Structure 1
Amino acid sequence: MRFRSFRFLWVGQAFANMGDVLYIVALIAVLYQATGSALYLSLLPFTITIARFVSGMCAPLVLNRVSLKGLLVGSQCLKTVLLGWLGLYLWSFTPSVLFILMIAFLIAFLDGWAAPARNAMIPQLVSENELAKANSFVAVVDQSIQFGGWAIGGIMVAATSGFIVIWITFLMYVISTLMMGFIVVKGYQDRQTKIQMMSGWKIIWKHPVLRVVHIMIVIEAIANVVWIAAILYIFVEEVLMKSEAWWGYLNASFFIGLIAGGMAVSRYTRWFERYMKETLLMTCFSISILTFIFGITSVPVVAFLLTVLSGVVEQIKSIAMVTMIQKKCPNDSLPEVFSAQSALISITFGLGSLLYGFLAELVNVSFVFGLSGVLLLGSALYLRKNIHVFNE
């Protein structure tokens, strides 16, 4: 029953996380059609990530008073109600930026409780010797959804509309709520989540490998805004001068690259394990070059091919980073480290989205791709300078 409950947990969270990505993609399309403004588009991911960061920081206060299952099911149920309300609103009225941002903030605030609650629940659903494997599996699922979800969302919006995708997300939220309702937690123990959260930050800073990797994660979270936020949508219209369908094509090509990258790592696992740090270094430099070239091209077919290559390289690099963290971090500290990492990425992505939206309007969208290339190059050079810590 305990392992069965773990399956309900990760499947339920997978549907919830996929829905979180899809409705953001849908709202990007709705907002752009209503306003045509890059700044308004950047306010959406900024609002969402700030809400997740704030709720994630105050989550320990809630976790100490509510059962983990109650928190997960209750927050997901409220998210479902809010999204249904948003869907009915868009069906009945002209889109209001303020109302959309308000609902997005509330949904994201509730979602901010999910990661710490899930990380606290996993040790109660699997045996101790399976804990590292469970954390690793959940991390890989999260990563795949974060990357692949944007690609699938772009395809769905291009094929249908933002309004329809919102209702598809509503159904995914319903399934998520039902799945998590089947979780059985035996012997719930109140945890000092505030201490654990702070210990995660301390572990990251004190551990040389984790510190290097997470500094890179911060830099790359800002740079990667160009691939997974609204900037790509504007790039298609202003630089490639193509229809919304090409937004879907580029997202699809990135998704194809991610799948190919994952298959490559699976096929050459022994080689990957043996030369992991060299692979990480090589992919960091490669993604910088690809991003810079993408920003200066105006040929759709070339952009398509570059996006495929970027997906391949990004997936290999991300798998290397996750594997490094799990190999170097003590097993019993993985939940705290991943929780701190989630909060770190949320605030960084939010600020990066706002900055890039402002720069896209102030300068142009090609400039922000060039900036991302420079940031990714800085990350690669930082890794090169500190590569010695991976041998310690």
Structure 2
Amino acid sequence: MRLRSFRFLWIGQGFANTGDVLYIVALIAVLYQSTGSALYLSLLPFTITIARFVSGMCAPLVLNRFSLKGLLVGSQSIKTVLLGMLGLSLWLFDPSILIILVLVFIIAFLDGWAAPARNAMLPQLVTEDELAKANSFVAVVDQSIQFGGWALGGILVAATSGSFVIWVTFVMYVISTLMMGLIVVRDHRERKTKIHMMSGWRLIWKHPVLRIFHIMIFIEAIANVVWIAAILYIFVEEVLMKSEAWWGYLNACFFIGLIAGGMAVSKYTNWFERYMKETLLATCFAISILTFVFGLISVPVIALMLTMLSGMVEQIKSIAMVTFIQKKCPKDSLPEVFSAQSALISITFGLGSLLYGFLAETISVPFVFALSGVLLVASAFYLLKSMHYLTE
């Protein structure tokens, strides 16, 4: 796993993902200073979610026409140009909210191809024996960026301005584009004569292992909504009876758990590879129990411990699932499968957020945690029933 191309991939994606976080923080500051409206701020995540869903649906149309490297470099180059345009517009004049949201939509649309292309490219850059280690390493990098990116963005915005952070992001995008341009990958994928948006979905439904995992992903995407900021904020206030600072503590503990889970898989890769099926099943049941118990407790310190443990278990489960998909799916169909998966998660999580917000407000926060626990245990039993497909 010491291939230079793998190093260029994760460094390039690291700069791109850091930039994605920083520019959103910058835009939040810019929009709030110019409008003071919470509604306009809420349009940012909504726009990004819709853009990534549309991107995931359209991805098969481009994934079979361009190489994975070409897609990564091309989309990142266009994102860099668009961000430069946004930076110039904020410097020269006060752009309308519509212009900002349109640019955000296009950037998020292009970004929607990055994760599927990266996940599909990994098996071409590392051997099959190194896939789990590569996935865990990339997961640690991703979660570390998510953990530190928002704090770094907040500090930079407070010390400078939103417009300045936009230009910092522009530099990161340039570096990312250069790094990914250095990737050398032999892409032997045969271009399909008939290209359609549903190719990934059809393969998922026909392939037993892929169908099992994506039914689980659908169920878990709904269940994992319980960890969004809005639900946790209410949980801290109404159940833990603590200040909003504890909302930050819970988020920090969850991200620390995610990083720890990725590091554990990376350190014990051989053991993980040998018992991957058993690990996947165990973590599925464990996360359901942890989620259910979390909704019942009201002791802050225990809540922090459960949150960290939940993050660790969730990361190990996710790495196992992604590795299984990469190994079981035909290599030339991985881009379509991961793009369909991205679209599925985006739309399910978006709609689930609305549902959980309604249930938390009309019933209670402990109820939505209990509901998530039930959904997750149903997903675990579904996997248990289907385990024989994973050994074929």
| TM-score (normalised: structure 2) | 0.76
Q: Give the equivalent residue in structure 1 for 2:147.
A: 151
Counterpart in the other structure of 1:297 = 297
Distance 2:248 2:229 in 1: 13
CA distance in 2, matches of 1:165, 1:4: 30
Higher mean alpha-carbon deviation, 338-347 vs 99-108, is at 99-108
CA distance, structure 1, for counterparts of residue 18 and residue 38 of structure 2:
26
What residue is the counterpart of 1:261 in the other structure? Answer: 261
Deviation at 1:262, TM superposition (A): 3.0
Query: 1:280–1:118: structure 2 CA closer, same or farther, 3 Å change rule?
Result: closer
Cα distance in structure 2, aligned partners of 1:238 and 1:279: 35
> Match for 2:345: what amino acid?
I
CA distance in 2, matches of 1:324, 1:257: 22
Asked if the contact 1:136/1:326 (under 8 Å) is kept, the reply is no
C-alpha change, 1:305 and 1:332, in structure 2 (3 Å) is same
Cα drift, residue 136 of structure 1? 6.2
Task: Quote how far apart the aligned CAs of 1:51 are.
Answer: 0.9
Q: Between Structure 1 and Structure 2, how many residues are aligned?
A: 384
| Superposition map of 1:42-121 within 5 A | 44-62=44-62, 71-83=71-83, 101-115=101-115
Q: CA deviation at 1:304?
A: 1.1
Contact 1:64 1:193 in 2 (8 A): no
Deviations 1:164-216 (A, max 9, x none): 87665444323213323445689999933964875433332222222111211
| Corresponding residue SS for 2:191 | coil
CA distance in 2, matches of 1:296, 1:165: 41
Cα 1:256–1:182, aligned 2, differ >3 Å: closer, same or farther? same
- Residue 348 of structure 1 corresponds to 348
Identity value in percent: 73
1:232 aligns with 2:232: yes
The Cα of 1:220 is off from its aligned counterpart by 1.0
Verify the 8 A CA contact 2:68 2:121 in the aligned structure 1.
Answer: yes
Partner of 2:326: 326
Partners in 1 of 2:44 and 2:335 — Cα distance? 28
TM superposition score normalised by structure 1: 0.76
1:307 positional shift: 1.0
Which residue number in structure 2 is paired with residue 315 of structure 1? 315
Partner of 1:8: 8
Change in Cα spacing, 1:329 to 1:317, as seen in structure 2 (3 Å) is same
Residues 301, 114 of structure 1: CA spacing in aligned structure 2 closer, same or farther, 3 A cutoff?
same
Distance 1:344 1:29, change over 3 A: farther
Is residue 287–residue 310 contact of structure 1 (8 Å, CA) maintained in 2? Answer: yes
> Alpha-carbon deviation of 1:118?
5.2
| 5+ long unaligned stretches in structure 1 | none
